[in-house]
Amino acid sequence: MKNKLNLLLTGASGFVGGAVLARLDQQSNCNVTMAVRTMPEQACDSKHVYHVHPLDEKADWSPVVADVDVVVHCAARVHVMNDSVADPLAEFRRINVHGTMNLARQAAQAGVKRFIFISSVKVNGEGTSGSHFYSEDDIPAPIDPYGISKLEAEKALNALATETGLEVVIIRPVLVYGPGVKANFRSMMSWLNKGIPLPLGSTANQRSLVAVDNLVDLIITCIDHPGAANQTFLVSDGEDLSTSELLRRMGLALGRPARLLPVPSWLLKLAALSIGKSSISQRLCGSLQVDVSKAKRVLDWTPPVTVNEALEKTALDFLESVKK
């Protein structure tokens, strides 16, 4: 970033937003206002923290957007396993579509120049096959309510950009991992650390992942890169792994070599289908690969962190956390 900018960062207390904030804190050429739903427990300068709750179409952003140059919108209702709400799609829309557009409209009216929206590869779909990699030019094919809500937000943002001149940048990450990661990735590390045998030694799939440091680097690049305006970018580490290879490398990073049983993928898929968990077998045995050549070409961007470096950093953080 060349000139000092005023940034509004939503979701600043979340996994990705927190990593973006940490990176921005290392730079002296921007002023960052954090938008959070829950006020931080630790003392902080209230001039740079804006408490907004709920993050929906009723939120008032006027106190903070007036002097903002760029909004980085990480806040969202994320993918929820076993969602218990009566209408999951309506709930995802309330936050991810209506809440996003409420912020974007107020930002455009206040003269904000650029709006960076963290979307999801789920806009593209749930999996690839053969030699096909997802790209930004693919016809979107979201399946679950989360992916559908992200696509609807993307379309609405692009329409707003055409209407108002607000520059919109859309970033679609694949599965994000790194220090502090939770959910399935942390469970995987826990299983490996305990030496639990896993029936995943024969998976021949290929999946794209993205280290949080690589995702943050792309987000930072998009803040002021002229070529990013009104573009969509897929992002990954640039090296795809099978589930078996991921487990092996993660085991090495943890110092606990993975104990993998050579169970055929077709048998795992059949077992998952018989208990109504086919989506789990898709994530473990199916492929999902993305083409990041557009970001490399348009932004002259390459992932700064290798997969092995990111896995080692993630493993170290996990091992420190289990000691506490």
CATH number at residue 68: 3.40.50.720
Question: What pLDDT is attached to residue 130?
Answer: 80
User: How many CA atoms does the CB half-sphere of 81 hold within 13 Å?
Assistant: 7
Q: What pLDDT digit, counting tens, does each position of 129-160 carry?
A: 888 999 999 999 999 999 999 999 999 999 99
Question: What pLDDT is attached to residue 43?
Answer: 43
Give a yes or no: residue 245 inside a domain.
no
Provide the percentage of residues in the chain whose pLDDT is more than 70. Answer: 94
pTM > 0.85: yes or no: yes
- The residue segments making up the domain with residue 143 are 5-181+208-238+289-305
Residue with tokens 């329409």: 159
Q: What pLDDT digit, counting tens, does each position of 179-197 carry?
A: 999 989 999 999 999 999 9
Distance CA(247)–CA(200), nearest Å, equals: 9
Question: What pLDDT is attached to residue 116?
Answer: 98
| One-letter amino acid for residue 20 of the chain | V
Domain count for the chain, please give it.
Answer: 1
Q: What pLDDT digit, counting tens, does each position of 57-99 carry?
A: 999 999 999 999 999 999 999 866 556 677 889 999 999 999 9
Size (the chain), residues: 324
Give a yes or no: residue 84 inside a domain.
yes
Distance CA(136)–CA(133), nearest Å, equals: 10
Give a yes or no: residue 55 inside a domain.
yes
For the chain of 324 residues, list the mean pLDDT of each consecutive stretch of 10: 82 92 86 81 61 85 93 88 76 95 97 98 94 95 96 98 98 97 94 95 94 98 97 98 96 96 85 73 86 97 98 97 86
Question: What pLDDT is attached to residue 56?
Answer: 85
With CA atoms as reference, report the closest residue to 215 among 187, 239, 234.
234
Give a yes or no: residue 313 inside a domain.
no
Give a yes or no: residue 67 inside a domain.
yes
Q: Is 50 a catalytic residue?
A: no
With CA atoms as reference, report the closest residue to 115 among 124, 123, 107.
107
